[in-house]
């Protein structure tokens, strides 16, 4: 997906515009400058074109002075995005900070679309011309709050999307290591790639400098490791901030078939681990949990692994399908098992169940455990069919979807999982009234 970054001074209304474009108004817009926003990454669509949207204002840059922060935002946008929206506002007019960012963006090769926000009142439209002075071409007047002008802005944005090369033909399995800073992602990548002949390739059709790496496993299967930057080129200040690593992770997840969530055995589980894993789950990706730095745990006995496994199962209940592996990038313990695990998770995520077999399983499940009733009405389940893969998605036809309790749905999912090997992948059940 093309990436669109939103940059601009605090309080110009970046997150309002962000939410407007993303089409949902989930995050609460605070008027207080510097309030940490929840969403910095979202999927969006305009005229049938899908893209990912990042709000660089949500990546907090510690206690840097305002101008430094804004400069860093612009750098993130230049590094990450295919198209940049610079947001200014009509109330403050053209400010020094706007000029500074404009200058940095102007020097990059990235297309920049200039938005002038808070044009809620048509009388102010003539002031919009002042913004030509930023040298970024036509200013687009918008009102993030009212949604006015956003369509024209997006028309301009999608016009600058890079042509996407069609490389659907490669059957290579895309995977990525994701996790918070310092869990050992780069070390794992290097250790793993050290074992294989590697082809480093630029992603065709993107202007971003993401670098993917391909290799062939012993059994001939092709793998492409999706770069989570912060792995290859470290050193910029923002690359170690949590919000940045979260945003990078989200992007890598989107581009992957199988996501390897890396945890640090030495430090245990943190809140950010859950955020990252949660996103992988919600994106419907196959997931493997990789506990790294296993070498650092002293005096391991037969219970150490079980205890850690139980902790993970407890903290990541929604990931009950994800296999767990304990490794060390340092000693290379069990690293040779990773490609096989990725391959299995991928195959399971793409597995198609024959309808007749699926319905046999369903009928057995219904016979073994009667359907629930509510207000004297009983849930009736007629039949099921698989409609998609990655993740495997099943439509179950019933008399009334409201009668399907969560616990009964859980039961059906478990019955399906017991009959077919879907380890490593979430499965989705969709209830339909027939
Ligand atoms: P990243 O930020 O997730 O990419 O983490 P790095 O790969 O840069 O690793 C962070 C630190 O942990 C470095 O000092 C590594 O040498 C160290 N490290 C990584 N993997 C292991 C491991 O398996 N065992 C030990 N003892 N240290 C590790």
Q: Is 200 helix (H, G, I), strand (E, B) or coil?
A: strand
Quote the Cα angle for 65-68-69, to 5°.
85
Q: Is 13 annotated as a binding-site member?
A: yes
pLDDT at 133: 94
pLDDT tens digits for range 192-216: 887 666 555 544 434 344 567 888 8
pLDDT at 205: 39
Q: Return the percentage of the chain with pLDDT > 90, whole number.
A: 56
Largest alpha-carbon pair distance within the chain? 74
Higher pLDDT, 66 or 39: 66
Residue 3: name the closest of 232, 167, 158, 136 by CA: 158
Q: Ligand 1: which atom is nearest the Cα of residue 292?
A: 23
Probe residue for ligand 1, chosen from 177, 181, 182 as the CB with the greatest number of ligand atoms within 8 Å? 182
pLDDT at 234: 56
Bridge-partner residues for 125, per DSSP? Answer: none
pLDDT at 242: 72
Q: Ligand 1: which atom is nearest the Cα of residue 240?
A: 2
pLDDT at 400: 95
Residue 4: name the closest of 59, 39, 74, 54 by CA: 54
Instruction: Decide if pLDDT at 61 tops 70.
Output: no
pLDDT at 312: 96
Q: Is 423 annotated as a binding-site member?
A: no
Q: Is 226 helix (H, G, I), strand (E, B) or coil?
A: coil
pLDDT at 401: 95
264 in Cβ contact with 276 (< 8 Å): no
Please indicate whether the domains covering 3-159 and 173-349 agree at the CATH topology level: yes
CA of 387 to the centre of ligand 1 (A): 41
Structure tokens at 104: 């940095």
Q: Ligand 1: which atom is nearest the Cα of residue 189?
A: 7
Mean pLDDT of the chain: 86
Contacts of 371 by beta carbon, 8 Å cutoff, 6+ apart? 378, 379, 380, 381, 403, 408
Distance of CA 396 to the CA centre of its chain: 28
Q: Is 278 annotated as a binding-site member?
A: no
Residue 284: name the closest of 339, 225, 349 by CA: 349
Strand pairing class (41-46; 112-117): unpaired
Q: Return the percentage of the chain with pLDDT > 70, whole number.
A: 87
Probe residue for ligand 1, chosen from 292, 329, 333, 334 as the CB with the greatest number of ligand atoms within 8 Å? 329
pLDDT at 76: 85
Distance of CA 308 to the CA centre of its chain: 26
pLDDT at 329: 94
Bridge-partner residues for 395, per DSSP? Answer: 385, 430
Average pLDDT over residues 107-130: 90
CA of 397 to the centre of ligand 1 (A): 49
Average pLDDT over residues 402-426: 96
Average pLDDT over residues 411-425: 97
Q: Is 253 helix (H, G, I), strand (E, B) or coil?
A: helix
pLDDT at 86: 96
Q: Is 120 annotated as a binding-site member?
A: yes
CA of 328 to the centre of ligand 1 (A): 9
* CATH 3.40.50.300 describes domain 173-349: yes
Question: What would the CATH number be for the domain defined by 3-159?
Answer: 3.40.50.300
Burial of 28 from C-beta contacts in 10 A (0-12 / 13-18 / 19+)? exposed
pTM over 0.80: no
Structure tokens at 256: 């992957």
Q: Is 149 annotated as a binding-site member?
A: no
Length of the chain measured in residues: 434
Residue 224: name the closest of 387, 130, 339 by CA: 339
Q: Ligand 1: which atom is nearest the Cα of residue 183?
A: 3
pLDDT at 165: 55
CA of 182 to the centre of ligand 1 (A): 6
Distance of CA 285 to the CA centre of its chain: 10
pLDDT tens digits for range 216-260: 888 888 998 887 655 555 566 666 677 777 788 888 898 899 999
Q: What is the DSSP string of 75-127?
A: HHHHHH-SEEEEEEETTT-S-HHHHHHHHHHHHSSS-EEEEEE---SGGGGGG
Instruction: Decide if pLDDT at 74 tops 80.
Output: yes
> Pocket residues for ligand 1 (CB within 6 Å)?
179, 181-187, 231, 292-293, 295-296, 328-330
Probe residue for ligand 1, chosen from 183, 187, 245 as the CB with the greatest number of ligand atoms within 8 Å? 187
Residue 381: name the closest of 391, 392, 364 by CA: 364
Residue 394's CB: how many other CB atoms inside 10 A?
20
Q: Is 144 annotated as a binding-site member?
A: no
Instruction: Decide if pLDDT at 167 tops 70.
Output: no
Q: Is 50 annotated as a binding-site member?
A: no
258 in Cβ contact with 424 (< 8 Å): yes
Structure tokens at 138: 């036509």
Average pLDDT over residues 360-389: 95
pLDDT at 200: 54
pLDDT at 233: 54
Residue 409: name the closest of 382, 381, 385 by CA: 381
Each domain of the chain, given as residue ranges in start order, spans 3-159, 173-349, 355-433
Average pLDDT over residues 289-306: 95
343 in Cβ contact with 336 (< 8 Å): no
**Class of the CATH-defined domain 355-433:** alpha beta
CA of 388 to the centre of ligand 1 (A): 38
pLDDT tens digits for range 144-166: 888 889 999 999 999 999 876 55
CA of 188 to the centre of ligand 1 (A): 8
| CB environment 217-247: b (16+ within 10 A), e (fewer) | beeebebbbbbbbbbeeeeeebbebbbbbbb
User: Atom 2, ligand 1: which residue's CA is nearest?
Assistant: 182
pLDDT at 235: 62
* pLDDT bucket at 169, cuts 50 / 70 / 90: very low
Task: Measure Cα distances from 59 to 33, 74, 118, 353 in Å.
Answer: 13, 11, 23, 43
């Amino acid at each position: 997906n093309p990436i669109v970054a939103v940059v601009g001074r605090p309080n110009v209304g970046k997150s309002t515009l962000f939410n407007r474009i993303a089409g949902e108004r989930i995050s609460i817009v605070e008027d207080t400058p510097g309030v940490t926003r929840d969403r910095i990454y979202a999927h969006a669509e305009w005229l049938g074109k899908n893209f990912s949207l990042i709000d660089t204002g949500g990546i907090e840059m510690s206690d840097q002075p305002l101008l430094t922060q804004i400069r860093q935002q612009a750098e993130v946008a230049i590094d990450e995005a295919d198209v940049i929206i610079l947001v200014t506002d009509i109330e403050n007019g053209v400010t020094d900070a706007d000029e500074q960012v404009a200058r940095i963006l102007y020097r990059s090769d990235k297309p920049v679309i200039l938005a002038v926000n808070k044009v809620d009142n048509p009388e102010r439209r003539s002031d919009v011309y002042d913004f030509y002075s930023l040298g970024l071409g036509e200013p687009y007047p918008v009102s993030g709050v009212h949604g006015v002008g956003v369509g024209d802005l997006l028309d301009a944005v999608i016009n600058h999307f890079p042509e996407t090369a069609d490389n659907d033909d490669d059957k290579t399995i895309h995977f990525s290591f994701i996790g918070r800073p310092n869990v050992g992602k780069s070390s794992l990548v290097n250790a793993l790639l050290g074992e294989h002949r590697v082809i480093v390739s630029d992603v065709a059709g993107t202007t971003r400098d993401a670098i993917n790496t391909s290799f062939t496993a012993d059994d001939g299967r092709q793998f492409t490791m999706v770069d989570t930057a912060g792995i290859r080129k470290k050193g910029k200040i923002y690359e170690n901030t949590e919000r940045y690593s979260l945003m990078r992770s989200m992007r890598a997840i989107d581009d992957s078939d199988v996501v390897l969530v890396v945890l640090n055995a030495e430090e245990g589980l943190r809140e950010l681990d859950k955020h990252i894993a949660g996103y992988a789950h919600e994106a419907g990706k196959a997931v493997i949990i990789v506990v790294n730095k296993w070498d650092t745990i002293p005096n391991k006995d037969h219970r150490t692994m079980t205890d850690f496994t139980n902790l993970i199962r407890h903290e990541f209940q929604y990931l009950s399908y994800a296999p767990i592996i304990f490794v060390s990038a340092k000693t290379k313990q069990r690293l040779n098992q990773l490609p096989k695990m990725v391959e299995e998770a991928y195959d399971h995520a793409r597995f198609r169940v024959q309808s007749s077999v699926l319905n046999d399983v369903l009928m057995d499940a219904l016979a073994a455990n009667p359907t629930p009733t509510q207000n004297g009405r009983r849930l009736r389940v007629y039949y099921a069919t698989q409609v998609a893969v990655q993740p495997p998605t099943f439509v179950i036809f019933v008399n009334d979807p409201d009668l399907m309790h969560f616990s009964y749905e859980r039961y059906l999912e478990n019955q399906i999982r017991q009959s077919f090997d879907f380890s490593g992948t979430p499965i989705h059940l969709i209830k339909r009234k027939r």
